[in-house]
Chains A and B, each alone.
Chain A
């Protein structure tokens, strides 16, 4: 085993890791980023036209995690034996430099401020008894006002396109009226709406909702970010979600941060470096560095550091904490421990409308972050009192570019044949003339939904796989059904010749075979109480103070919005406090 030393180690070269690496090198530290996948650069991965290949891309999962080496096991309930997630389907974690930030779509939200203190807000409005038995509703212990500068910073780094509503308290545009106040405009104007989105926008407004163009980390024009790196204008190529953007228009760590970092002599990137664990000192209170496996030589390497950033993606963060013995593993029976607690996801269901045959929706035109949404039924924007559930969903047309293999395998929807006679007719109608509307909603945390180490299955390196115990619960199913019922008037208003509403069913089990989202959350949540949170408000481990855990693992609940805007803001927030407070006086920043 070889031993080396650096000031700070960052595990994972995705969004969170790249942001922390940039901030810490700016603070003067030597930073080593360990990434288990390959190095990736848009000039190679995004090369045109070879990257414009659906089979190699989204179907054979070129840029995604290689499950043959490591995966998770999944079960719905605690009385089952979990089995491995053997083939990618329900969620698509990234691997390689850029992480999932290379192949994401780019819907770039802030947060609904009410969601940051959901427990407090629900109790204030509806009383404590409104929270169902077994739901672990919690606050983040950070406010929107505290995070606002970091949302602003992230948008400027990502080159985000959007239309504001208010700036410094004054109405400044026709954006989302439910969006929180901003200190500045978006760096770029909103993306154009594709035809389907304009149809939705008009119909939603006519039925009294408040449609707005989605904020997107797809560049609506040429842009140079604060790190001096350039983006080109998005051409709605449609090979967005699941692909590297050949136009340099979709924000990624590879395009927006790493070109600047790679020039910094204090920055070291080691790829094919699979971190096995964070090493702790003898009393387990301080990290001394990490042990990783060099996948090129199969040698274990010990790297020493004063500061360790775990930013390996939501569930990998939790996995690494459990493998390293950082904090107390969550026990759902005794209701003790925090690592693995409040594991959450998002609800998502898709409804489809068929337009008259003279209207072509050209589904292949699109950009991952672009579209039109309504927030009328998100967060606490509506009265939950008579409805009896917590949470909500934005509703949107987010036409990211539908390609033919996925469309064909998904089938023509409705009751049409999925193969054989009649299939082609139905596919042609669906592909040419339909559009989809998603309800992309929250998912609450529950006592018996959690992460721990699997007792049976191991990864290629001999370590226990992470086990997910997850299914849908009544509160979230009813929330989804309610919001989907609000889509029906839009369908009618836009003149659909027919439509099919997709919603969760009572007692529906989580199905790992169908893509939903890669918006997994929780498991190492932030909060004010070390009994119910793994990290404090600065994302610092309560137990090992020189370890910070950055990612959606910090979310106590799954929110209606896509997570990455929040992940990036939390990353900049944590980095700011590391730079201004922690580095001057290393130790716990909040007393337990």
Chain B
């Protein structure tokens, strides 16, 4: 067993003796999730090679691997996003997409004509072009992780256009879909090994708390179950 990092030791220390300790420990979930993440690479259906490198790097910065367990890559969030692109959601079919498309104050909501799959296509190309121009020709995926985080922070509140996509909108799209991938049922390709749910202590599809309505503040004792019956 490798030595836990200081933060992790500290964190686990705080939980020792509590009912949920096992949820955090070197539980099989981690190993399984990481194994799946590292197993035969998923072949993206929508994203091209460059986009896929960007997506993997960006998801991992948003939800990094750390002392708590696997990050977005290990959990399959990029795969989740790739698969979502070929759904009604990815194609923008759940949204009102008739024109005219005009710019409006941010509080009145999304007003671009681009569905999610186009936000990514144009946004990622724009983002990589922006990064190459500011980081001596390297693309986002080739930056050091600290540099990647700094670029995402710039995007998070940035108005600069990445293709037709304002940087903050690309960031928002990335953050939302990454977290969806981490925390949705594994049915959709993410949350591998249920490790996203395990981190939070969310029991998944159990959906029956008849005997646990009020635990007087004790932690719920059971681990998660997925729709397909997978447990962790």
Binding site for B on A (CB under 8 A): 48-50, 52-55, 59-61, 66-68, 70-71, 74-76, 80-81, 83-89, 192-195, 198, 233, 235-239, 246, 355, 357-362, 364-365, 403-405, 407-409, 418-421, 423-425, 427-428, 431-432, 456-458, 460, 509-513
Contacts and interface: CB of A to CB of B under 8 A. Distances in A.
B96 A420 contact: no
A66 B217 CA distance: 40
10 contacts: A54-B183, A55-B185, A80-B105, A86-B95, A192-B213, A195-B216, A405-B184, A419-B175, A420-B149, A432-B219
Interface centre among A49, A84, A403, A407 (most CB of B within 10 A): A84
A561 to B, nearest CB: 24
Contact of B179 (A192, A246, A364, A405): A405
Given A60-B94, A66-B94, A512-B108, A52 B207 contact: yes
Nearest to B104: A83
B225 to A, nearest CB: 8
Given A195-B217, A358-B217, A432-B201, A409 B68 contact: no
Interface string B161-197: 0000000000000011011101111011000000011
B63 A423 contact: yes
A409 B176 contact: yes
B183 A235 contact: no
B98 A457 contact: yes
B109 A59 contact: no
Contacts, number: 192
A89 B108 CA distance: 11
A59 B152 CA distance: 24
Contacts of B110: 86-87, 513
Given A55-B185, A358-B18, A68 B93 contact: yes
A195 B215 contact: yes
B48 interface: no
B214 A192 contact: yes
A424 B199 contact: yes
Nearest to A84: B96
Nearest to A458: B98
Nearest to A403: B202
B100 A456 contact: yes
A423 B227 CA distance: 27
A49 B227 contact: yes
Contacts of A513: 106-107, 109-110
B61 interface: yes
A423 B152 CA distance: 15
A192 B213 CA distance: 7
Most chain B beta-carbon neighbours within 10 Å: one of A70, A364, A407, A513 = A364
A418 B178 CA distance: 12
Given A52-B207, A84-B111, A236-B212, 18 more contacts: A50-B227, A52-B204, A80-B105, A84-B96, A87-B94, A88-B94, A89-B109, A235-B208, A236-B209, A237-B208, A355-B217, A404-B196, A404-B202, A405-B183, A408-B183, A419-B63, A421-B149, A425-B68
B14 interface: yes
Nearest to B68: A424
A582 to B, nearest CB: 38
B215 A360 contact: yes
Contact of B66 (A60, A71, A361, A424): A424
A384 to B, nearest CB: 29
A365 B212 contact: yes
Given A403-B202, A420-B64, A85 B96 contact: yes
Contact of B95 (A67, A83, A362, A460): A67
Interface residues of B, number: 63
A431 B20 CA distance: 13
A81 B101 CA distance: 12
A161 to B, nearest CB: 13
A416 to B, nearest CB: 14
B205 interface: yes
Nearest to A362: B220
Contact of A428 (B102, B180, B199, B215): B199
B175 A360 contact: no
A83 B108 contact: yes
Interface in B60-82: 61-64, 66, 68
Given A68-B96, A513-B107, A83 B102 contact: yes
A358 B216 CA distance: 11
Contacts of A246: 207
Residue of B61, B66, B209 with most partner-chain A CB within 10 A: B209
B109 A360 contact: no
A425 B24 CA distance: 12
B89 interface: yes
A337 B162 CA distance: 47
A203 to B, nearest CB: 14
B3 interface: no
Task: Sort A-B residue pairs by CB-CB distance and give the 4 closest, nearest first.
Answer: A404-B183, A237-B207, A55-B184, A359-B217
B214 A198 contact: yes
Contacts of A423: 63
Contacts of A361: 217
A418 B203 CA distance: 23
Which one of B11, B18, B107, B185 has the highest number of Cβ atoms from chain A below 10 Å of its Cβ? Answer: B107
Contact of B107 (A67, A194, A407, A510): A510
A83 B111 contact: yes
A192 B209 CA distance: 12
B97 interface: yes
A49 B63 contact: no
A358 B218 CA distance: 8
B180 A76 contact: no
Contact of B200 (A55, A84, A432, A512): A432
A360 B179 contact: no
Contacts of B179: 405, 408-409
Given A424-B199, A427-B200, A67 B207 contact: no
A456 B214 CA distance: 53
A424 B212 CA distance: 26
A89 B94 CA distance: 12
B210 interface: yes
A420 B62 contact: yes
Contact of A237 (B100, B209, B215): B209
A512 B105 CA distance: 11
Given A49-B205, A54-B184, A195-B217, A512 B107 contact: yes
A460 B127 CA distance: 35
Interface string B40-71: 00000000000000000000011110101000
A431 B95 contact: no
A249 B169 CA distance: 40
B97 A86 contact: yes
B62 A419 contact: yes
A434 to B, nearest CB: 12
B200 A48 contact: no
A512 B89 CA distance: 19
B66 A67 contact: no
B227 A512 contact: no
A590 to B, nearest CB: 39
A368 to B, nearest CB: 13
Contacts of A419: 61-63, 152, 175, 178
